[in-house]
Amino acid sequence: MKKKFSIVLLIATCITFAQKKTNGTIYVEHPAINLVEAMTQAYVNGDADKVASFLADDFKSYNGTSSNKDDKGSDKASFLNEVKFWKDNVDYLSVKRSPGAYPDALEYKEDNNKDVVWVQTWEDLKGVHSKTGVKIDMPLHRLFIVDKNNKIKTIIKYANNSIFDEISSSFNDRENGVIYNHHENINIVRKMIYAFENKDFDKAYSFYDEKATFMDINSPVGKSITLAEQKANDQKLFDKFDLTSIDMVGYPDYLHYEMGDAMAVQSWWNFRLTRKSDKKKIVLPIFFIDNFNDKGKITSEMAYYSEKLME
C-alpha cells in the first residue's frame, strides 16, 4: 500500500510540474519602461509635441473598463488632445507610481508578440479640476504595447471614471433638499439637550435609537461608540463637572437631503460647566450633527468641541 501511495504521489507531482509552461521574461528594468515613464512625464507637463514623439503613427488608446464590443479606440490625434485638455483644465496634475508598486516589462515568446514589449504600470493619478475644484485622486492601471521601433503603439487604461461624473455635475447649480429652521426633529434635539441640562437622563436617552452610534472630533478618525458607551462617558463628565446651564447659540438647522433621503439637525450650544476639583468655570462651545431615521429617532451623533478647554 505504501508503495502504491508513493507512485500516486510521484504521478501527481509530475502532472503538477507538467502544467507549468514559460511564455517569456518579465523585466523590472527595461528600455520600454523608461520610454513609458518619459511619455507619462511629458503628458503630465502638457508637452503634446514631446508626447507625440513617443507614439507610433498607428497608435490607439483604449478604455479597459468599456463594455462596448465595437470600441475602435482613440487615435494619436485624440490622445494628444487629451494632453491639452489635462493641461488646460487640471491643476497640480501628477501621475506617480503607487506606493510599493513598480512597472513590469514583458517579452512574450508567442509569435504575435515577438516584435513588441508589453509594459504594465500601477500608478496614482492626482490633480484638482480648475473650474469646479473637484479633487482627482485615484489609482490608475495601464498596459502599453511598445513596438520594435521603440514607439508606443497601444495603451489600455483601467481607472474609476466616476470622478468625472462629479466634475460634469458641478458645472451647474443643483438643489439637494430643504433646510428648515423649525421642524419636529429640531424640537427633538432641543428636548434632548435640555433633558441633559436638567439631569433627566432617561428622557434624554429616549430620543436615541437603541443602535445609535456616537463620534467625537477628539477621537481617532472613524471611531464610533455605542449608546451604552456614550452613557458611561456622560457619567464621567458629570462626575468631574457640575452643569450650570446649556445655552443655544443662534438656531438649529434641519436638513432633509434629496440624495440618500438623509435627515440631519445641526445645532450650536454653550455648555456652562464648573469643574468640581477647583471650582473653575468653563464655557464649552459644542456643535452637534444629529442624524435621524424616519421614525424620528437619532441614529448617530457627531460632536465638535475643544477637549483642551476642559483640561
Q: Span 72-100, mean pLDDT? A: 96
User: 194-218 pLDDT, tens per residue?
Assistant: 999 999 999 999 999 999 999 999 9
Query: Which run of H or of E encompasses 14?
Result: helix 2-18
Total length of the chain: 311
Burial (CB < 10 A; 0-12, 13-18, 19+), residue 268, is middle
Write the CB contacts of 198 (distance below 8 Å, at least 6 apart in sequence): none
Cell numbers that stand for 21 in this block:
509552461
CA distance 304 to 289: 9
Amino acid 110: pLDDT: 85
Q: Where are the beta strands (DSSP E) in the chain?
A: 24-27, 55-63, 74-75, 90-97, 104-108, 117-129, 135-146, 152-159, 177-180, 208-216, 225-226, 241-248, 253-257, 263-275, 281-292, 298-304
Cell numbers that stand for 109 in this block:
515568446
pTM over 0.75: yes
CA distance 185 to 196: 17
* C-beta separation of 97 from 123 below 8 A: yes
Helix (H, G, I), strand (E, B) or coil at 28: coil
Amino acid 48: pLDDT: 97
User: 138-154 pLDDT, tens per residue?
Assistant: 999 999 999 999 999 99
**Share in percent of the chain as helix, strand, coil (round to 5):** 35, 40, 30
Q: Span 228-243, mean pLDDT? A: 95
CA distance 90 to 46: 10
CA distance 112 to 262: 55
For residue 21, name the pLDDT band (cuts at 50, 70, 90). confident
End-to-end CA distance of the chain: 77
User: 241-292 pLDDT, tens per residue?
Assistant: 999 999 999 999 999 999 999 999 999 999 999 999 999 999 999 999 999 9
Write the CB contacts of 172 (distance below 8 Å, at least 6 apart in sequence): none
Mean pLDDT computed over every residue of the chain: 93
Instruction: Please tell me which residue, 280 or 2, carries the higher pLDDT value.
Output: 280
